[in-house]
A and B are shown apart, each in its own frame.
Chain A
Amino acid sequence: MLTHLQSPHPLWSLLGVLFFALNLAAGLIWVERRLLALWQDRYGPNRVGPFGLLQVLADMIKIFSKEDWIPPFADRWPFVFAPAVVVATVLLAFAVVPFASGIVVADLNIGLLFFLAMSSLGVYSVVIGGWSSANKYALLGSLRAAAQMLSYEVFMGLAVMGTVILAGSFSLGAIVEAQARTIWFIVPQFLGFILFLIAGIAETRRLPLDLPEAESELVAGFHSEYSGMKFGMFFVGEYLGVTLISCLITVLFLGGWLGPGLPGLIWFLIKMMGFICFFILLRAALPRPRFDQLMAWGWKLMLPLSLANLLVTGAIVLAVR
């Protein structure tokens, strides 16, 4: 079943995915600013280049030429190390995402577990960064990040188990192929889709669940002390995370590259961009919950729901067989 998924040129896939992911992360800065402006009756950046597209380039030049300052009270090496972790883990997780039939860096048979593991490792970046800053706001932010990401990780993993039961495989390619045989998993797994979406927002620390960096409470949370390109790395990591979660939702629940007419890659990108825009709409529309509300929802509502979803799905699949 997986043979034709093997990419003929793994190196090209690797380079292509790297190029695509990093450029998209940069381009998303522009996309987000323009879309937020669109929903706030403004124009957003529209001066530099056509439609303001070169704004990203100007921002890059600016952020690279900023002073890269390490506070004297900070723990130097963890402080430098932390921003690299978030980008590295997210980029590693991109390796298992099948962008189209055959365009995948490594079609692991435990692809989904690999993704969950990498997104768990991403927590270290935030925690180490906040801890080594030796700043009370950064520490509070990283404490919140640790609590939030660990508790939402739990039902994120449980929410996708429904699709794994239906597809009978942890491989993302096999999950898409299973959807080609039956129906997109958003229909039988709608609850799982909603749970995974919410967990994804919490996992990428996007608004409205951006409590680790809540500006109105914690200055900038875990990256209060970061400047220059180290701050930029956290930023890129966040946008990469948004892209990754959108890719995963597309693969797990919306049939990946499946779709009529257009080539598979185009279908994948359309679905993925749709979810990225939805993430930005969430940011434009919803206020941030209190931290205890976030924790209570995670443990008292989301976790039982995902467990129920898992049990019901398993029972139905067993009964049908």
Chain B
Amino acid sequence: MFSNLRTLWEVFLHAFRPRVTVQYPEQKAYLSARYRGRIILARDPDGGERCVACYLCAVACPVDCIALQAAEDSTGRRYPEFFRINFSRCIYCGYCEEACPTYAIQLTPDVEMSEYQRQNMVYEKEDLLISGPGKYPGYNFWRVSGVQIGGKAKGEGERESPPVDLHSLLP
């Protein structure tokens, strides 16, 4: 009996506590930098596309919402001819980001992407590409990789030694 009265009193005191509700359209909830929201495609620090169209994100995607087509430019750089994410299927699991070898595909803390037309949930490459490097500012895949492209021969990458000459005995 006493514990019931005490419960009543303590519940009544909750009237003077601060509210926990976030009044959404006016107040925004804090989303951490790691939040898995809208997917973007990042660029290199010097402005080139990071995506090398390796298809790993499309393979990793459990709901098959990523579609792309690889292509190669005149300098030998691979890039996606089109890159399409169907956000009405996407479950924001982040596996694409984990699979990506070049930090190109990233999930961002943005969730406000409602649409009236289902068709508008399909984002094309120009919708996905952003101007900056996203969460990894200094990284440039083509600079550190050992792949030979136009303007960069083998062994010219950052932290890379020249290739060993197999036909020479000199150290």
The segment from B15-23, B30-38, B93-101 found at the interface with A is: B15-23
Tell me the smallest distance from the CB of B27 to a CB of chain A, in Å: 11
Given A285-B7, A286-B7, the answer on whether A42 and B12 have CB atoms closer than 8 Å is no
The number of chain B residues touching the other chain, given as a range, is 10 to 19
Known A-B contacts A285-B7, A286-B4, A286-B7; the reply to A39 vs B12 at CB < 8 A is: yes
Q: Main secondary structure on chain A at its contact with chain B?
A: helix
What are the residues of chain A within 8 A of B18 when measuring CB–CB?
A: 41
Among A31-53, those with CB < 8 Å from B are 38-43
How many residue pairs, one in A and one in B, have C-beta atoms under 8 Å apart?
Answer: 33
B11 in contact with A285 (CB, 8 Å): yes
- CB contact between A42 and one of B7, B8, B21 (< 8 Å): that residue: B21
Are the CB atoms of A38 and B21 closer together than 8 Å? Answer: no
Could you tell me if A38 and B15 are in contact, using CB atoms closer than 8 angstroms? yes
In the assembled complex, B14 has its CB within 8 A of some CB on chain A: yes
B87 to chain A, nearest CB (A): 27
Residues of B within 8 A of A281 (CB): 8, 11-12
Task: Give the complex CA separation of A280 and B18 in angstroms.
Answer: 20
Known: A282-B8, A286-B8. A43 touches B21 (CB 8 A): yes
Q: Known contacts A43-B19, A43-B21, A43-B23; is A38 also within 8 Å of B14 by CB?
A: yes
Contact call A39/B21, Cβ cutoff below 8 A: no
| Shortest distance between the CB of B17 and any CB in chain A (Å) | 5
What is the bound-complex CA distance between A281 and B12, given in angstroms?
7
Q: What A residues does B12 contact at CB under 8 A? A: 39, 281, 285
A41 contacts B8, C-beta separation under 8 Å: no
Say whether A284 faces chain B, with CB atoms less than 8 Å apart. Answer: yes
Is the Cβ of A41 less than 8 Å from the Cβ of B19? Answer: yes
Alpha-carbon gap, A281 to B18, bound state (A) = 18
Closest to B18 in A: A41
A174 to B13, CA, bound (A): 38
Chosen A-B contacts, 16 in total, with CB atoms closer than 8 Å, are A38-B14, A38-B15, A40-B14, A41-B19, A41-B20, A41-B21, A42-B20, A43-B19, A43-B21, A43-B23, A281-B11, A282-B8, A285-B4, A285-B10, A285-B12, A286-B7
Query: Closest 8 CB pairs between A and B?
Result: A285-B11, A39-B14, A285-B8, A285-B7, A43-B21, A41-B20, A38-B15, A42-B21
Taking A39-B11, A41-B20, A286-B7 as known contacts, 20 extra A-B pairs with beta carbons closer than 8 A to each other, sorted by chain A number, are A38-B15, A39-B14, A39-B15, A40-B14, A41-B17, A41-B19, A41-B21, A42-B20, A42-B21, A43-B19, A43-B23, A281-B11, A281-B12, A282-B8, A284-B11, A285-B7, A285-B8, A285-B10, A285-B11, A285-B12
Binding site for A on B (CB under 8 A): 4, 7-8, 10-12, 14-15, 17-21, 23
